[in-house]
């Protein structure tokens, strides 16, 4: 999909590039290629939110000693965010669980940085969330780092290049892990898919933690080949139709949060009754935003990192 409204190119950087333009320029014989592929904006669609297919309470806190909870209730959504800490010292882990129940699956939406679809376009999750008046938001799958995958957002196809295991959210409130290479965006839309995510791996299916997920690599390319070890993580799960779990685990911060392995991450979902769960972009990108404020503490710095997209509950 293309757009007649192409924005002026500008430079943007992401933390994983480790040294930014200098590192890329030093890549043997490929500095220009790397800059073009991973740094320079490539806008394909501007005003992406206008293409949505279906143009369609005060917070309270409580504490039980090991977790705190914040809740939100409206006519369309009930949200409870729990902060959980386990372990101690260098083994301490801190994570955030958003239990989300909605009356209509299409109020769970996606939004792009700068309202533009394309490669390397980024903004902080809280900035994107504010632009769409999100009640709750998490970082998305960072689709803009790659040029493959099936990208359906708010009922509209933006990319149809199946490459990996994806997750599909349906307009009826259900969700399924699927093989992108065995279908097409048109087929998914016809089946009622509202949003897709393209990252992985799938964590839980039929209520069971999937095996082998601690050996999976995603996007075996420059700077983003491994998602293993104890890491900050973001994931989404489904307990039943219109009842979701969004989990953000902080990490790489000694004494605050070590992070978790992929199997440990999956277990968080399974223990809370998720029938399906899926891993999306993590590391320094992991973020949860509630009513305009950052909930978690990325890398122990309190600083967000720009990303391509968010998932959010519309206000």
pLDDT in tens, 30-43: 556 455 544 566 67
pLDDT of amino acid 41: 66
Q: pLDDT band for position 52 (50/70/90)? A: low
The number of CA neighbours under 13 Å toward the Cβ of 212 is: 5
Rounded Cα–Cα distance for residues 141 and 169 (Å): 14
Q: How many CB atoms lie within 10 A of CB 212?
A: 9
In the chain, which ranges are continuous DSSP H helix?
A: 21-26, 31-38, 125-131, 185-190, 262-271
Run of H or E including 86: strand 77-86
Rounded Cα–Cα distance for residues 68 and 82 (Å): 5
pLDDT in tens, 299-308: 999 999 999 9
Q: pLDDT band for position 5 (50/70/90)? A: very low
pLDDT of amino acid 228: 87
Rounded Cα–Cα distance for residues 2 and 4 (Å): 7
Rounded Cα–Cα distance for residues 314 and 141 (Å): 19
Run of H or E including 98: strand 93-102
pLDDT in tens, 245-273: 999 999 999 999 999 999 999 999 999 99
Reduce the secondary structure of 41-75 to three states and give it as a string: CEEEEECHHHHCCCCCCCCEEEECCCEEEEEEECC
The number of CA neighbours under 13 Å toward the Cβ of 56 is: 15
DSSP secondary-structure letter at 77? E
Average pLDDT rounded to a whole number, residues 91-118: 98
pLDDT of amino acid 68: 73
Top pLDDT among 72 and 44 is at 72
């Amino acid at each position: 999909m293309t757009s007649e409204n192409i924005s002026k190119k500008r430079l943007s950087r992401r933390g994983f590039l480790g040294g930014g333009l200098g590192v890329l320029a030093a890549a043997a014989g490929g500095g220009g290629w790397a800059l073009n592929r991973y740094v320079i904006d490539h806008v394909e669609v501007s005003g992406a939110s206008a293409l949505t297919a279906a143009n369609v309470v005060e917070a309270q806190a409580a504490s039980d000693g090991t977790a705190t909870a914040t809740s939100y209730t409206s006519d369309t959504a009930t949200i409870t965010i729990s902060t959980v800490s386990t372990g101690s010292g260098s083994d301490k882990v801190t994570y955030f669980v958003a239990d989300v129940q909605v009356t209509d699956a299409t109020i769970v939406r996606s939004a792009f940085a700068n309202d533009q679809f394309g490669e390397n376009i980024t903004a902080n999750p809280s900035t994107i969330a504010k632009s769409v008046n999100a009640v709750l938001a998490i970082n998305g799958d960072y689709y803009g780092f790659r040029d493959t995958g099936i990208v359906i957002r708010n009922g509209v196809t933006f990319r149809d290049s199946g490459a990996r295991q994806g997750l599909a959210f349906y307009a009826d409130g259900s969700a399924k892990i699927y093989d992108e290479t065995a279908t097409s965006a048109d087929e998914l839309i016809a089946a009622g898919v509202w949003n897709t995510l393209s990252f992985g791996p799938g964590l839980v299916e039929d209520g069971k933690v999937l095996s082998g997920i601690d050996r999976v690599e995603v996007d075996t390319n420059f700077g983003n080949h491994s998602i293993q070890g104890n890491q900050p993580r973001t994931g989404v799960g489904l307990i039943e139709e219109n009842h979701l779990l969004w989990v953000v685990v902080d990490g790489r911060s000694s004494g605050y949060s070590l992070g978790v392995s992929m199997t440990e991450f999956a277990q968080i979902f399974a223990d809370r009754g998720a029938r399906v769960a899926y891993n999306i972009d993590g590391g320094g990108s992991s973020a949860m935003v509630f009513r305009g404020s950052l909930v978690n503490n990325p890398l122990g710095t309190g600083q967000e990192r720009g990303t391509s997209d968010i998932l959010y509950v519309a206000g």
